[in-house]
Amino acid sequence: GRVRALAASPTEQGDVVVATSTGMVAVADLSTSTFSTVAHMDGPVASLRVSEEALIATVRGTHVTLDWQGSTLATHAPKRPTSRRYPRRKSTLVVGPDQRLIAPM
Instruction: Describe the chain by its helix, strand, coil percentages, rounded to 5.
Output: 0, 50, 50
pLDDT tens-digit series, residues 26-50: 999 999 999 999 999 999 999 999 9
Output the pLDDT for position 103. Answer: 74
Q: Higher confidence at residue 54 or residue 84?
A: 54
Beta strand spans in 9-83 (E): 16-20, 24-29, 34-40, 45-50, 54-59, 62-67, 72-76
For residue 56, give Cα distances in angstroms to 3, 16, 72, 87. 16, 15, 10, 35
Cα R_g (the chain), whole angstroms: 24
pLDDT tens-digit series, residues 7-31: 998 888 889 999 999 999 999 999 9
* Residue 17 buriedness (CB in 10 A; 0-12 / 13-18 / 19+): buried
Q: Which domains, from first to last, does the chain contain?
A: 3-76 (2.40.10.480)
Within 10 angstroms of residue 43's Cβ, the number of other Cβ atoms is: 15
Percent of the chain with pLDDT over 90: 62
* Residue 50 buriedness (CB in 10 A; 0-12 / 13-18 / 19+): buried
